[in-house]
Structure 1
Amino acid sequence: MTDTLVAPSATPKHEDERRGVLQQMLDSSWLLIVTAVVLALVASSVLVAAADQDVQKTATYLFARPSDFFAALWESVYAAYSTLFRGAIFDYQATGLRRVRPITETMTASVPLIFAGLGLAVGFRSGLFNIGAQGQVLVGAAAATYVGIAFDAPAGVHVALACLAGIAAGAAWAGIAGILKARTGANEVIVTIMLNSIAFQLISYLLTTSLLRQGGTRPISPAVADTAQLPLLAGASFRLHAGFLLALLAAVGVWWLLERSTLGFRFRAVGANQRAARTAGIRVNLVFVLVMLVAGGLAGLGGAAQILGTDKQLQASSAGSIGFDAITVALLGRSTPLGTVLAALLFGALRAGSPLMQSSAGTPIDIVQVIQASIVLLIAAPPLVRRFSALHWVAGIAGSTKKKEAHA
């Protein structure tokens, strides 16, 4: 594959603009990221309070007895976030091992998000808008499921083969977009979005055939063999499995790839300036393909971990919203391995804690989706966050000081 497949003329203007927007998001400071999360929680608090019946009732006589309104307001917000904490981190109202079960659920929920987020982070750092993690997760899950139910092998070998199948399937699926990008200049955003839909329909169909259904009438696969399941890390009382350790190892591997390897330097060079990378002799089109293969392999491994470690069975809905949430995870983590892991743990906490928040505090579980969507909005609009944050005032003060020094 040579770079003559796509004319090495200047990168299209709209691609330069997209890379500029992406680079602005990736260059956001940690203070800006934290501010975005806090603002998202504050904005969601308004909806939490508005949905509370006591707040609605006391609002009818707000001016007569404002203390009742503000007491109900505080109680609704405190109840929502305290139960979210109990469901995601530490349940101080439980007894025994049940107290620490929430943090293990958070770690379990974060596993596929870490894998998929790392895959997207590699693409973002390379200047590619890979929006196809959802489909890559799903085909990876399907491949791992097939190996898990159709083959017999010793425990260690079987789970390794299933994971490798997930990696290969995800890489192949993402490679389609990479090859089309390299050979025809096709927009990777459109291609990967379409591949998401194709993956969903394909897996839905395969679940009605003997290939994945393996008997029965429901569109769901049988449970994968015990030898293909990822081992539990904390005993049968918890769902935390070895996939979490694999995810951390993957994060270390991605860090080494991007920061210490020659290939990773080429990835970052293409992401920083495609024209300069071509001038320096980097085969940009080959980089497109390799980036998508790495990204798809990581996302496919995330799908495999979801099946082999948590779900044990495959459905068309097994991927949930993992692939789409991973976009936010990668952006929130500034597309760095450490940041991606921390962002995935945050989203895992929101997932793990939301059921208790709904059942105990009566807060709609959709509030969690509002928090996630608000984070996306604020991360995608750094100037807006700066306007509402201390960064704006600090920048203003610093600018005034410099002007005074210049005049002096």
Structure 2
Amino acid sequence: MSNRVVNILVPVISVILGLLVGAIVMLVSGYDPILGYTALWNGIFGDAYAIGETIRQITPYLLAGLSVAFAFRTGLFNIGVEGQLLVGWFAASYVGIAFDLPMYIHLPFAIIAAALAGAAWAFIPGLLKAKLQVHEVIVTIMMNYIALHTTNALIKVVSDGGDNTGTINASASLKSAFFESITDYSRLHYGIFIALAMVLLMWFILEKTTTGYELKSVGFNKHASEYAGMNVNKNIILSMVIAGAFAGLAGAMEALGTFQYANVKGGFTGIGFDGIAVALLGANTPLGVIFGAVLFGSLKYGALNMPNEAGIPVEIVSIVIAIIIFFVACGYVIRYFLEKANKKKEAK
């Protein structure tokens, strides 16, 4: 059995096992798993609207997953994606409202502002890690809360005490009349192309540039990299800045594509924290992040249909989704058993 076959079988077996155990949970709880999974399928692929909304849900997950994966590939654990996303969301909204420019200037300006805001927010833990050896996990977690309350306060200032910034100008919007027409007026927008372009950009940076080689080297072994003449501190900061830019772009997708405004939030969006799971599911590779985002986004949106169509309580739905993701995350165990079975077969 070749490595390519194993790579294909691992996620397939993981998903099947997750679905089977999820079905057992539904049966034990007194619900019909066939009806439950039919509702899940319809929630994802049932009609043009569902497909459009599913792809829309996948878009920010792609960018949040890239943010976590990029930092991880360079030896850092970015738990601050949520905060970086929130400041990017606010920056994109503010630029979208405060300026009146032609679309070909306004939209890129708003997107770049979100990326810069996320990068600036991630620069702080990167600098503290590089200069003072302060652990990035602690700093990024704390900065999530600072971002939440800071953006809420800024929204109130911008809106004169209101709960949202107001609708952004059409010249800064990612909304698509074409996508609306083919998906029965879903909120699918052009941001999906930006997210996929960022997947290619991450691959290009890490695999085809000297900077990417240095970033990965520092991630593998800081001391050896320093001995080889690389600037370790610069690469640590650069890694966090790039990761933060990806997270800021995820915020821009929500601001300019899905919601068209920034609003005061009583808690976190969850997208940044889900991005950790997306990156882990995708083994922190660009192609893997696509798989993780598609799986996570599809399950998250499709599951909303299970209580409505199959009458399954939200709590059971959450358990089923968590079990499926758990088995996919345990793909390394499945890979171990497949490779062990393959060695036995070759020995015989």
TM-score (norm 1): 0.77
Deviation track 1:248-299 (CA, whole Å, cap 9, x = no partner) reads 1111111111111111111111222223222222212111100000000011
Q: Give me the whole-angstrom Cα distance separating, in 1, the residues matched to 2:275 and 2:129.
A: 22
Q: Secondary structure at the match of 1:222?
A: coil
**d(CA) in 2 for partners of 1:271, 1:371:** 35
Alignment of 1:117-156 (within 5 A): 117-156=65-104
Q: How does 1:171-210 map to 2 (within 5 A)?
A: 171-209=119-157
Change (3 A) 1:371 1:181: farther
Q: Does 1:42 align with 2:25?
A: no
User: Matches of 1:401 and 1:347 in 2, distance apart?
Assistant: 36
Paired letter, 2:288? G
Alignment of 1:203-218 (within 5 A): 203-209=151-157, 211=158, 214-215=159-160, 218=162
User: Do the aligned residues in 2 keep the contact of 1:134 with 1:322 (CA within 8 Å)?
Assistant: yes
**1:238 Cα deviation from its structure 2 partner:** 3.0
Identity %: 38
1:5-404 to 2 correspondences below 5 Å: 29=7, 31-52=9-30, 76-89=32-45, 91=46, 99-209=47-157, 211=158, 214-215=159-160, 218-232=162-176, 233-236=178-181, 237-317=185-265, 320-371=269-320, 373-374=322-323, 377-378=326-327, 385-386=333-334, 391-392=336-337, 395-396=340-341, 398-399=343-344, 402=347
Q: Using the TM superposition, give the Cα deviation of residue 342 of structure 1 relative to its aligned residue in structure 2, in angstroms.
A: 2.0
- Structure 1 residue 371: deviation in Å? 4.6
Shift of 1:205: 2.0
CA contact (8 A) 2:93 2:168 kept: yes
* C-alpha separation in 2, matches of 1:370 and 1:205: 35
Alpha-carbon distance in 2 for matches of 1:372, 1:177:
33
Q: Deviations over 1:104-127 (max 9, x none)?
A: 211111111111111111111111
- The amino acid across from 1:363 in the alignment is I
Matched AA of 1:227: S
CA distance in 1, matches of 2:132, 2:15: 39
Instruction: Tell which has more relative contact order, 1 or 2 (C-alpha 8 A, sep 6+).
Output: 2
CA 1:31–1:397: 2 relative to 1, 3 Å: closer
Paired residue secondary structure (2:313): coil
Change in CA separation of 1:29 and 1:193 when aligned onto 2, cut-off 3 Å = farther
Shift of 1:102: 1.7
Q: 1:155 to 1:235 in 2, by over 3 A?
A: same
Report the Cα offset of residue 218 of structure 1: 4.2
Conserved in 1, the CA contact under 8 Å of 2:85 and 2:118?
yes
- Computing the radius of gyration over CA atoms, which structure comes out larger, 1 or 2? 1
Distance in 2, matches of 1:373 and 1:275, equals: 39
- Once residues 328 and 188 of structure 1 are traced to their aligned partners in structure 2, the CA distance between those partners, rounded to angstroms, is 18
Deviations 1:32-65 (A, max 9, x none): 444433333333323323333xx5xxxxxxxxxx
Deviation at 1:347, TM superposition (A): 1.4
Distance 1:380 1:347, change over 3 A: closer
- The TM-score normalised by the length of structure 2 is 0.89
Runs of 4+ with deviation above 6 angstroms:
none
CA distance in 1, matches of 2:14, 2:43: 23
On the 8 A contact 2:68/2:279 being kept in 1, the answer is yes
User: Aligned partners of 1:88, 1:400: CA distance in 2, in Å?
Assistant: 39
Tell me, yes or no, if the aligned pair for 2:306 and 2:317 is still in contact at 8 Å: no
Name the CA distance, whole Å, in 1 between partners of 2:234 and 2:81. 20
Displacement after TM superposition at 1:326 (Å): 0.6
Provide the aligned C-alpha RMSD in A.
Answer: 2.3
Aligned 8 A contact 1:135 1:197 in 2: yes
Residue range with higher mean Cα deviation, 364-373 or 239-248: 364-373
Q: Distance in 1 between matches of 2:162 and 2:23?
A: 41
Contact 1:137 1:319 in 2 (8 A): no
- Check the 8 A contact 1:51/1:363 in 2, yes or no: no
Aligned to 2:3: none
Q: Which segments of 5 or more consecutive residues in structure 1 lack a partner in the other structure?
A: 1-27, 56-75, 92-98
- DSSP-derived class of the 1:234 partner: helix
